Amino acid sequence: MYGKGLCFGMAAAVLLSFSGEAKGIRPPLADLSLTPDVLAVLREYQLRQFHPRVVLATVRDWMASGGGRSERVLGRLRAVGAGSDPHVLCFGPAPSRRFLHCFARAHAVVPYRIEEERVYVYDPNHPRDRERFVKFTHGEFEYGGFRSREGRGITLVPGKALPGRERPPARPARS
């Protein structure tokens, strides 16, 4: 948990910081030093993915999309700054024989711009790269090592599903 798996926490912190609800973290998150205080806040946000509301929203979207199928993602996806409740975009398993392999390597990003077949994302693993995008073509998607044709699925988690939006975790200290 200390070296891996903070992507959902960072994605949630970034999403909420753009809406002004993560008062202790201001964009860009990449400019904060990785202090113990910042890590503590990110871990708190990471734990939010296990809150019943988030789990229910994730499972509901996964089921409704036929196991993370990407055909209708572009029509439903809400990006940060689009005026409505934005999503955290999660790459996870599609129903296949590689389900557990893909589940163990899930990843979360925040979409911020949609252009035709491309969705530009903030990726916690590449926080300063503003040119990262998910490509959608012919009902499939591709993003780095995540490809629908290789047993990956996409789930949209609405920001409103994140618990504690009215009370953010403790403020991290800047260094």
Q: What local confidence, expressed as pLDDT, does residue 115 receive? A: 92
Sheet holding 146-147, edge to edge: 146-147, 140-143, 133-137, 118-122, 107-115, 87-93, 152-158
Residue-range domain boundaries for the chain: 7-161
Query: Phi, psi at residue 120, to the nearest 5°?
Result: -80, 135
- pLDDT grade for 100, boundaries at 50, 70 and 90: low
Give the total residue count for the chain.
175
Whole-number Cα distances in Å, 22 to 11, 41, 99, 118: 12, 10, 33, 28
Higher-pLDDT residue of 18 and 57 is 57
Per residue in 35-47, pLDDT tens?
A: 888 778 777 777 8
Q: Which residues contact 171 (CB under 8 A, 6 or more apart)?
A: 23, 24, 37, 41
What pLDDT, in 10s, does the model give residues 109-126?
999 999 989 999 999 889
